[in-house]
Amino acid sequence: MVILEGKVIQALPDGKYKVKVEYKGKAKEFICYVSGRMRVNHIIITEGDKVKIEVSPYDPTRGKIIYRLR
């Protein structure tokens, strides 16, 4: 798993978010869902929040939001 930092740019239906990541000088967008611990603890994510995401090398277009930065 690869951990990246990005910014939420759009909230999508069904609890998913579009996250923009600057990685090696290139901007890339991921479709991410909220991890189970964040869902259980009712962490609210809005557009403009900075987050840490976890991306699998098997599907590099999707990710999981694991932490909301302050």
- Identify the pLDDT of residue 70: 81
pLDDT score of 24: 86
Q: What is the pTM of this model?
A: 0.89
The domains of the chain, with CATH numbers, are: 2-68 (2.40.50.140)
Plot region of 63 (φ>0 → left; ψ -120 to 50 → alpha; else → beta):
beta
Question: To the nearest 10°, the Cα dihedral for 35, 41, 46, 50?
Answer: -60
Segment 7-21 shows an average pLDDT of 95
DSSP state of 15: G
Per-residue pLDDT of 15-69, as tens digits, reads 899 999 998 889 999 999 999 999 999 999 999 999 999 999 999 999 999 999 9
